[in-house]
Amino acid sequence: MQMLVQGWIRGSVRLEGDDIVLTPKGSDYLLPGQELPIQLAGVRSPGEAVAVAQRFGLLRKGWKETTQTTGDLREPYDDWRQVALDLNHIMGLVLDLRLAMSGNTNGVERLRAARSKVIQNDPADDDDRVQQWATITIAALMTQGIGDVEYRLEVIHRRDPSRPVELGTWMRTLAPATMLSAAYGELAEYIDSTQARELRHCADCDRIFLVGDPRQRYCNTTCANRAAYHRRAQRRRSRLRNEPALDTDSDLLYAR
């Protein structure tokens, strides 16, 4: 179902001390899409948090603030960083569970390690028990993250001012209370979807990304270029030492 909010607060975003600060400049639709949880999970610096806030707005300030707010809105960067860590934890569990279910022992071992941090000294941690724990834990963490969502029936607006509303037609939507709630909602759609796209760790920066092309190894062109640069430098060094190149991999594909 469509995740959509009208009147989502937007503005220009900057870093002020340890805070992400948004100066409201009106409102727009929030149409999060699958990119939102990936973008949020990828935040590793205040600058990256500013870039995501510029595109989507703030984590916990959305349409409910639109009518009551004048002046700047702010959120501590620490909050953004924690959100990124939480999302990475969940996506890591999803990734490892999928690996474990396909018979990959590394996936099972990482799930077992994650479980032993929560459930200590349990001798009954066979593979099946570990995967059941992961399935239940993902559901619980996701439900907690989704939080407040309104189920709505909305009218469909037209551009024609003489007939501004489509007659007798409505659209069912989910209106998340916050952008964070929207991100979890989108991730839930993705995890639960029958056309689920594969999640993968970037071979360069280790961020989790949505795989567009099965050959894709890097999360974006920056990482693909950096990896290519390192491979070229390595080949140059090998040639200088008159040794055969160690890495002749030319898979630089970045496709979306």
Which tokens hold the place of 244? 């055969």
Q: How far is the CB of 87 from Zn ion (least distance, A)?
A: 16
Give residues 96-155 in contact with Zn ion (rule: CB under 5 A).
Answer: none
Contact 79, 46 (CB under 8 A): no
Return the number of the residue (196 or 203) whose C-beta is nearest Zn ion.
203
Q: Give the residue with the Cβ less far from Zn ion, 60 or 200.
A: 200
CB of 41 to Zn ion, least distance (A): 12
> Strand 19-30 relative to strand 73-76: parallel, antiparallel, unpaired?
antiparallel
Q: Do 199 and 205 contact (CB within 8 A), yes or no?
A: no
Is there a contact between 23 and 1 (Cβ–Cβ < 8 Å)?
A: no
**Among the candidate windows 5-13, 15-23, 170-178, 197-205, which touches Zn ion by CB under 5 A?**
197-205
By CB under 5 A, the count of residues binding Zn ion is 6
User: Is residue 41 near Zn ion by the rule CB under 5 A?
Assistant: no
Convert residues 42-71 into a mask of x (bound to Zn ion by CB under 5 A) and - (unbound).
------------------------------
The yes or no reply on residue 205 touching Zn ion (CB under 5 A) is: yes
Q: Does 223 bind Zn ion (CB under 5 A)?
A: yes
The DSSP secondary-structure symbol of 207 reads: -
Q: Which residues, other chains included, contact 145 with Cβ-Cβ below 8 Å and sequence gap of 6+?
A: 86, 90, 180, 181, 183, 184, 187
**Nearest approach, Cβ of 138 to Zn ion (angstroms)?**
24
Least distance (Å) between residue 54 CB and Zn ion: 20
Show the binding pattern over residues 155-194: x = contacts Zn ion (CB under 5 A), - = does not: ----------------------------------------
Q: Which amino acid is at 182?
A: A
How far CA 17 is from CA of 22, 46, 83, in Å, comes to: 13, 10, 19
Only segment of 58-66, 97-105, 218-226, 235-243 that touches Zn ion (CB under 5 A): 218-226
Tokens 């963490």 label which residue?
A: 141
**From CA 73, how far away is CA 21, in angstroms rounded?**
6
Q: If binding is defined by CB under 5 A, does position 219 make contact with Zn ion?
A: yes
DSSP code for 198:
P
3-state secondary structure of 173: strand
- Tell me which residues touch Zn ion (CB under 5 A): 202, 204-205, 207, 219, 223
